Every structure is written in structure tokens, then in C-alpha cells.
Structure 1
Amino acid sequence: MLFEQTIHDINKGEISPFYFLYGPEGFYRLEIIQALSHKLITPDNRDFNLENFEARESTAGDWIGAAKTLSFFGGIKLVVVRNLHETTLEESDQKALFDYISNPELNSCLVITASKVDRKRKFYKNLTNQPGALPCEEPHESGLVNWVKNRAKTFGYDLSSEAARKMVGQIGSKPGILAKELEKAMTYVGKENKITESVVSELVGDIKMENAFSLVEA
């Protein structure tokens, strides 16, 4: 999964000066931004090294200016622009953005997000082809079994294959909900560190079935 590899690279300190995180899976976008923030931002430098923008309330000039303004504290500055899909950039702003991406400030990390893009539009077609563009698509259930097992492992817990399959089977392709249910299971077993199928059966509701009933009753 590109998402997992990106998180792995960030945790190793291999950080791109530009990311475009696009697609409907908001959990992936959030996790990548949190990983970058954890790696780059401290309580001491937060006021100087982190800037957040809503795309519809700002301009490309604002984002680029923030990325080019280096911090007195040193380190890599993190500039996050959310919801690009909610605005339309003027052609001059589009050009300025692509000019910046082609020659970015290496002591800054500019992150732009969009939950949906129209790749038929020239702007988005070009943007999604840039280095650092990462699709955040809804995953297939088959790939989430290993993902949730590995996530448990990073926290020091052993999630059995049977438990992982049951968790994914009951929740479906919703990594954000899977992460929350995994956290619940880890809290439940505590220092025992082993999450079995019976634990999942006891704690995790059949969300797929609940959603199906909701659709029938709607």
C-alpha cells in the first residue's frame, strides 16, 4: 500500500517537500499529516514551524509564501492546505503552484489535501502526476487484514490472523473505524498484549450488518 510506505518513509525521516493527498479516504490523509507533524513539530517550534490553511479561505500565494518563509527555529516547516476541491484556483495561482512544486523550498513541507478530484481537468491531471501526489482511496478488505495486524504490532500487540479477519469482516473497508476498534481491543487486553478472535467477538459490533439494516429501514 502506498499509504503504508509513505508512513514508513516519514517515520525514517525521508520527507518530501511536497505532498498532494487526494481521494475519499480521510483517515489516510489524517494519518500522513499526523505522522509529518509528529516528526517535524515540537511544542517549542509549533508556533513558528506549523501553518494551516483552508483552501477556500486563502490563496496559492499564501501557501507558497508560508512555505518560503523559513523558521527562526530551524528544522523543516510544515504547511498544510486542506480541501483544495472546495475552491477553484485562478490560472495565475495554478502556474505559481506548479512553479513552486518544480523548485520547492527544501526546508519546508507543503501538504495539500482534496477529498475528490476531477482528473479530466488539466489542473488536477497535472497535480496528481506530480512527485509527492498520493491517492487516498478506499481500500479493499483483503489488504486490510495485514494492515490491522501490522498496526497492532507497531503498538506492541499480537493480533491473531483469525481476530484480524473477523475484525475486518465485521467492519469492512473502513480503516478509520478499524483503528478505533483496534484501540478499544488493546485497551481491553491491557498488558496481556494478545488480541484473540474471542476478544474481537466480544468487543466489535457487526458494523457491516448494522449498515445493511439501516439501508433497508431508510
Structure 2
Amino acid sequence: MSAEKILQEWKIKAYKPVYWLEGDEPYYIDQLVHYAEHNILSESEAGFNLTVFYGRDADWAAIVNACRRYPMFAERQVVLLKEAQHMKDLEKLEGYVSNPLSSTILIIAYKDKRLDGRTKFAGTIKKKGELFQSKKLYENQLPDWVKQMVQGKGYSLTPGALQLLIDHIGNDLSRLANEVDKVCINLGSKKTIDEESIERYVGISKDFNAFELQAAIAKKDMAKAIRIIQYFEANPKAAPIQMILPAMYGYFSKVYSIFGLEDTSENGVKSALFPNNFYAARDALSAAKLYGNAGVEKIILLMHQYNLRSIGVHDAGTEDADLLKEMVVKMMN
């Protein structure tokens, strides 16, 4: 069952006694936990009937005791177990889950991991409650997700603004949603989010960002690459090296993949690697021809080397901008 379906059921007060929320995409888990904590019970009911545990400090017996209490002045109570991935003896909740109280809604948030589906515990959760799995979106799913998210807030997004957001933030759904909220709050009567809005309220320059640096490297435009790095040097929060390198690695990994494709036409590359962006496919093909197989492989190896240096491996604390300048010169030479 999807997060949207679970929320729809909760809004019509259709509840199951146990919800297990797991997976490597925290956005949907946080969305469900937030709704459960603030909306299932009224404010007056929550004072007596909402209990929140945190996995690192929680005791399984205390959780079971809380779940077996009867609600006070309400039809039901809510018991939340957050960060359950850090809890010891978590499987000891199986006894309660196998025979839950109908007036208790137990919600367990198990982030960044998945329950072993072969265990008795997993089988009991599936039988007695709802097992929700939150999965990371693939890159080609991001544009539609962002557009739908923005439309759900009553706004629209220009193609340039959409690309700028995704290139800068990636598939961090929570951060994408937070940044869009920030922009919407500042738009006033405007209903369209454009590149200028992203630049002003998110703090992403449309001319000086990780995507533009990547494009300059792909074209062997040394002068432009150095100008962008100098901007980063003057604005350290604009694009830390630990944000730049993963974005560039994702792109050049795709460029490197071109050499293994059977169909290296623009349409073939678009279909295989850039399904939502024809121009990206064209530019990637251009970069592949400009650098060749060995050159692109060298770029990827240099990114790995400078990523290690940026976290202090074989480096005495060189500034980000100096590391980037040195890396770019080696890539283009």
C-alpha cells in the first residue's frame, strides 16, 4: 500500500492496529509519522493517548505496556516508535503484534533498513497490520515527482527551474519539498516558480552551480570552470565540494556508460541514460567524443581521488576551491 493510500484511509478513520514503515526513502516515512502524531488524535485526546518512543532509548516491555493500555476519553490511542532501527530486542514486540489491541494504533518507523521477510516477525506484521516499504526514486522519476508535488501546493514550475532544483539537490525528497515550501512562502501572489525564484530563495545561482561546472568540464571550457570555482570560493555555502562531486560523478558515470551501449545515436543514448532530457543525451555524447573512453575514465578516477582528499585522506587540509581547481586542470589536460 502506498503512503497516499494509507493517508487516505487515516483521513476517513480507517485504521489497522499495527503499521511497520521501512525503507531507504525517509520522506514518506516522515510524512506518515508526522500525520499520525498530529492528526489522528485531536489536541485534547493526544494529551492522554499519544505515546512516543525512540528506538535508541526504548525498552520493548515499556512499549508493549503502553500498547496494552486502554485509551482515556477517546476511541483509540496512538503509540509511535521512531528510529526503530536503533532499538535492541525489537523482535520481542512480536508477541504483542500477534495479538494487538484494537483500540491501539502502533506505528513503527524503521528507516534505512528492511525487515527480513523470511522471519516470523515479518510474517506476523503482514498478517496483523500493514507493512509499508519506502523506496528511493530513480533519477528519471524525479521530474514528474517534483512537478506533481509543486502542483499539489497550487503552483507550477518552469522547465529551467525544475532542472535547476534537481541538478542541485538530487533525489533528496525531503529537501526538495522543504526548498519548494520556502520558495512558495516568498512568492506572494505569483503562482509560477521560475529560475529567478530558485536563485533568490533557494540560494542556487543559475550561472554558478555544480551543474554549470559539470557542463564546463564536459566541454573542456577551462576559463568558465575556473570562474565558477572562484564563485564557489567567494560563496562557500553555494556548493561545497561534497555536494559537487556526487553530482558530477553521477553524470560522468553515464557518459562512461555510453561506451558500452550498442546504440550510441542521440535517441539511443537518451532512451538508455537520459529518458527525460534529450539535450543532456546530446551533451553527454559530445563529452564522450571529446574525452574518449580513457579520458572519461580518468575524470571518474580523479573525482574519487579528490573526494578522499576533501575528507582528509592524504591531504593536510587544502581548501575546497584549490582542490577543485587542481582537479579540473588535471581532468582537462
TM-score range, shorter chain: 0.7 to 0.9
- Paired with 2:201 and 2:41, the residues of 1 have a C-alpha distance of 35
1:107 to 92, 99, 103: 103
Q: Counterparts in 2 of 1:50-129, with a 5 A limit?
A: 50-89=50-89, 93-100=92-99, 104-115=100-111, 116-117=113-114, 119=116, 122=119, 125-126=122-123, 129=126
**1:74 Cα offset (Å):** 0.9
- Paired with 1:144 and 1:199, the residues of 2 have a C-alpha distance of 20
- Paired with 1:113 and 1:207, the residues of 2 have a C-alpha distance of 34
Name 2:244's counterpart in structure 1.
212
1:153 to 129, 151, 154: 151
Which string of whole-angstrom CA distances, capped at 9 and with x for unpartnered residues, describes residues 44-91 of structure 1? 122212101123433333223322322222133110012322233287
Judged with a 3 Å threshold, the aligned counterparts in structure 2 of structure 1 residues 124 and 135 are, in CA distance, closer, same or farther, namely: farther
Could you tell me whether the CA contact under 8 Å between 2:19 and 2:106 is conserved in 1?
A: yes
Any idea what SS the aligned residue of 1:97 has?
Answer: helix
Name 1:7's counterpart in structure 2.
7
What TM-score do the two structures reach when normalised by structure 2? 0.55
Judged with a 3 Å threshold, the aligned counterparts in structure 2 of structure 1 residues 47 and 90 are, in CA distance, closer, same or farther, namely: closer
- Paired with 1:90 and 1:40, the residues of 2 have a C-alpha distance of 25
Name 2:186's counterpart in structure 1.
188
Aligned residue type for 1:143: Q
- Paired with 2:195 and 2:150, the residues of 1 have a C-alpha distance of 14
| Sequence identity percentage | 20
**1:207 Cα offset (Å):** 7.1
**1:33 Cα offset (Å):** 0.9
What TM-score do the two structures reach when normalised by structure 1? 0.79
Any idea what SS the aligned residue of 1:134 has?
Answer: strand
Any idea what SS the aligned residue of 1:190 has?
Answer: coil
- Paired with 2:48 and 2:10, the residues of 1 have a C-alpha distance of 21
**1:18 Cα offset (Å):** 1.4
Could you tell me whether the CA contact under 8 Å between 2:22 and 2:115 is conserved in 1?
A: no
Could you tell me whether the CA contact under 8 Å between 2:94 and 2:121 is conserved in 1?
A: no
Could you tell me whether the CA contact under 8 Å between 1:50 and 1:78 is conserved in 2?
A: yes
- Paired with 1:155 and 1:90, the residues of 2 have a C-alpha distance of 38
Of 59-68 and 70-79, more deviation after overlay is shown by 59-68
Aligned residue type for 1:33: V
Aligned residue type for 1:212: I
RMSD of Structure 2 on Structure 1 (CA): 3.1
**1:153 Cα offset (Å):** 3.1
Name 1:142's counterpart in structure 2.
140
Of 62-71 and 182-191, more deviation after overlay is shown by 62-71
**1:113 Cα offset (Å):** 1.6
**1:135 Cα offset (Å):** 1.4
Could you tell me whether the CA contact under 8 Å between 1:55 and 1:82 is conserved in 2?
A: yes
Which string of whole-angstrom CA distances, capped at 9 and with x for unpartnered residues, describes residues 141-170 of structure 1? 333333333333333333345533442232
Judged with a 3 Å threshold, the aligned counterparts in structure 2 of structure 1 residues 191 and 10 are, in CA distance, closer, same or farther, namely: farther
Name 1:38's counterpart in structure 2.
38
Aligned residue type for 2:244: A
Of 20-29 and 2-11, more deviation after overlay is shown by 2-11
Name 2:176's counterpart in structure 1.
178
